[in-house]
Amino acid sequence: MNILVINAGSSSIKYQLIDMNTELPLASGLVERIGLEEGVVKHKTFVNGEENKITESFPIPDHAVGLKRVAELLTDEKVGVISDPSEIKAVGHRLVHGGESFTDTVVITDEVKAKVKELFPLAPLHNPANLVGVEVAEKVFPNATQVGVFDTAFHQTIPEKAFRYALPQKFYNEMRIRKYGFHGTSHKFISEKAIEYLGNKDAKVITIHLGNGASMAAVKGGVCVDTTMGMGPLGGLIMGTRSGDIDPAIIFYLTQQKGFTADEVADLLNKESGMKGLTGFTDMRDVEGNFVNGDPVAVLAINMYVYRIKQYIGSYAAAMNGVDAIVFTAGVGENKTPVRRMVCEDMTYLGIEWDAEKDKIRDKDVNEINTDGAKTKVLIIPTNEELEIAKQSMELIK
């Protein structure tokens, strides 16, 4: 069974075609600069262990043109990996915000699309683009079942004491203002891998997803009990361009005393803060390079970044009354970085002890990097959100 996974952004389409018999990709790629003068398609195929790359530049006025070209490449006589689009049994869509309406993966119907539209105000940058991806895929792959996998669904098990804010009741009852959480597909995938590795279905796991966007989750017995992002993806950890947690009084000060508009504050906190605001760089590799060279700006920024992660580890250990493993994933979490060492330093009270030699090895799906005999496991597990979306899609249509 072949399943195509699509993550549609406002000007891009990220995709991966997965053979579910092997759970390996047949092809993957990115359509970007949609709607601009010159678009780009970057397409990769994986055949007999060989990776082949194709890059094309041409006007891509809308998502329909981009996805149609993807279908052509997938079935091309020379570079195609399938003979006909009908060989794709399902298209799994990443949908960012499901609100309280979607607690699980769903087959996309007209009713589902209408509900996703209702949720546009909760994710104005993501849900509209996600829905465009669905509507285009329905036309390009009419024989495939369209499946929606929501970023927020995994976090819908969080108890009310953790997801509610201390605002007047009507703000929740009438406006559904609450914590929703994001990166749920990643947290679900790596927590399940960790629980399987630990051999304990009741394990208490803290998952740490560190990419340009970053979040953590507390997972007890496979069930999410808390997460760092809130109603939107701005809260929690320090990120590439997002501030993470701040005192709300800062917003009042900027708008009431310094003349900032609400839009300017939104841009500041979402696009100009985090590592970009602290250092001028959004890529952690640049920040870490300066950190290693002793640049005081980078040293402070990395220490702030790590301190916030450690705060949440302590908070989630308290929420679960213990922790059996912490798990690092995503770009910063998986790759060469001083962050893991620094997070694990001075955490022996929680049984967390880092092993430098083990951290150099990446030869398994789950890599254990704690010292021998450490009470708490420290794991690196590469995330695979596309495979998780494909697996959930397959389970739904079997």
Alpha-carbon distance of 358 to 364, in angstroms, equals 12
Binding residues for ATP: 14, 209-213, 283-285, 331-335
Q: Give the CATH architecture of domain 200-385.
A: 2-Layer Sandwich (3.30)
How would you label 97-114 residue by residue, b for 16+ Cβ within 10 Å and e otherwise?
A: bbbebbeebbebeeebbe
C-alpha dist (Å) from residue 155 to 99, 212, 218, 223: 10, 20, 10, 8
pTM of the model: 0.92
Kindly list the strands in the beta sheet with 50-58, ordered across the sheet, starting from the edge strand earlier in the chain: 50-58, 39-47, 24-32, 12-19, 2-8, 88-95, 145-150, 106-107
* Residue appearing with tokens 């450690």: 310
Residue 104 φ then ψ, to 5°: -155, 175
* R_g over Cα of the chain: 22
Give the pLDDT confidence score for residue 121 in this predicted structure: 86
Structure tokens at 216: 């953590």
CATH label, 2-150, candidates 3.40.50.11690, 3.30.420.40, 3.40.920.10, 3.40.50.720: 3.30.420.40
Q: Based on the number of CB atoms within 10 Å of its own CB, is 384 exposed (0-12), middle (13-18) or buried (19 or more)?
A: buried
8 Å CB contact between 115 and 101: yes
Distance in Å from the first CA to the final CA of the chain: 10
Of the candidates 110, 151, 245, 372, the residue annotated as catalytic is: 151
The SS3 of residue 95 is: strand
pLDDT string in tens for the chain (398-residue length): 899 999 998 788 999 999 999 999 999 999 999 998 899 999 999 988 788 999 999 999 999 999 999 999 999 988 899 999 999 999 999 999 999 999 999 999 999 999 999 998 888 878 898 999 999 999 999 999 999 999 999 999 999 999 999 999 999 999 999 999 999 999 999 999 999 999 999 999 999 999 999 999 999 999 999 999 999 989 999 999 999 999 999 999 999 999 999 999 999 999 999 999 999 999 999 999 999 999 999 999 999 999 999 999 999 999 999 999 999 999 999 998 899 999 999 999 999 999 999 999 888 899 999 999 999 999 999 999 999 999 999 999 87
Q: Tell the burial category of 137 from Cβ atoms under 10 Å away from its Cβ (0-12, 13-18, 19+).
A: buried
Q: Where are the domains of the chain?
A: 2-150, 200-385
Nearest Cα residue to 380 out of 193, 154, 183, 217 = 193
Binding residues: 7, 14, 94, 209-213, 283-285, 331-335, 385
Contact present, 298 and 287 (Cβ < 8 Å): yes
* Residue 151 known to be catalytic: yes
The Cα–Cα gap between 313 and 228 comes to 11
C-alpha–C-alpha distance, residues 14 and 36, integer Å: 17
CA separation for the pair 235, 237 (Å, rounded) = 7
Tell me the three state secondary structure of residue 263.
helix
Report the pLDDT value the prediction gives residue 313, as an integer from 0 to 100: 98
Binding residues for substrate: 94
200-385 has the same fold as 2-150: yes
The pLDDT score that the predictor gives to residue 33 is: 92
